[in-house]
Amino acid sequence: MIPVTTTKTRIFIIEEQALFGKALCQLLAAEPSFEVLGDLPRVDPASPPRVGADLVVLDLNGPSIDYADEITRCKQAFGNARICVLSTQLRPEIMQRCVAAGADAYLAKDVSPSELIRAVKTVANGESYVDPRIAGSLLRKRLLSDGRMSSDELSEREGEVVRLIAQGLSNKEIGVRLCLSEKTVKNHVSRILSKLNISARAQAVVYAIRMGLV
């Protein structure tokens, strides 16, 4: 019989808020495919924890911190580990700064437990992940500044629908969220596809990727 081996993703957590760090440890340790190696309040490249982490969940907050510098320090301390940033900042420009500095994921700190686990799994699989709310916001900005959109901009409601599509919601779910009928949502989606000059909602996500959102 061939033995079955499973490789767990080894995770280290950098979180200044001690209690939140412990909450993250508990949540991630409960996932069978993860192994939580420990947590620290901050990164010290001079004496990095010698733990061989595959992935670091890095808390970055505060108006005065240098996001790129913190990510560089983290990469120095943890070598090739992938980096998943957690932040209270929802501003797309901060997310872009983090991704440019080498972060593999960027999530708002009020993310749901299930979404955090999904994001960590995505990053552990070698892909990238950006909080859909932030990606949606950036998408709207990019779309509005794109020449193709100048004469035919998305309305505020269409922008909301795009954001929810990016979150993976169906028309029915979007309808519930926005208190609209499914038919009305369908009409919004049709107009959005027309304005973006695409034929399927999945292409909206592809479009976001091409725009450098993820």
Partner 1 sequence: MRTYVVEPQQIFVPSLLHLLQESGLSIVRVRDVLDPLDVLRTRPQMLFCDCDAMDDQIVQGLQFLSDSMPELDVCIYSRTEPLSPRVRMRAPTRLLHLEKSASHEALVSALGRFVVNA
The residues binding partner 1 (CB under 8 A) are: 16-20, 22-24, 26-27, 41, 61-62, 88, 109-113, 116
Crossing angle of helices 156-166 and 171-178, in 10° steps, is 130
Tell me whether residue 94 or residue 149 sits nearer to partner 1 (CB atom): 94
What is the distance between the alpha carbons of residues 57 and 74, in angstroms, rounded to a whole number? Answer: 10
Q: Percentage helix, strand, coil, to 5, in the chain?
A: 50, 15, 35
* Least Å from the CB of residue 27 to partner 1: 6
What is the distance between the alpha carbons of residues 78 and 48, in angstroms, rounded to a whole number? Answer: 7
Instruction: Classify residue 156 as left (phi > 0), alpha (psi -120 to 50) or beta.
Output: alpha
* Least Å from the CB of residue 164 to partner 1: 19
34-40 and 55-59 as β-strands: parallel, antiparallel, unpaired?
unpaired
Q: Reduced to 3 states, what is the DSSP secondary structure of residue 172?
A: helix
* Least Å from the CB of residue 22 to partner 1: 6
* Least Å from the CB of residue 93 to partner 1: 16
Tell me whether residue 84 or residue 185 sits nearer to partner 1 (CB atom): 84
Give yes or no for a contact between 73 and 45, defined as CB atoms under 8 angstroms apart: yes
Tell me whether residue 26 or residue 187 sits nearer to partner 1 (CB atom): 26
* Least Å from the CB of residue 156 to partner 1: 20
Tell me whether residue 82 or residue 109 sits nearer to partner 1 (CB atom): 109
Tell me whether residue 55 or residue 192 sits nearer to partner 1 (CB atom): 55
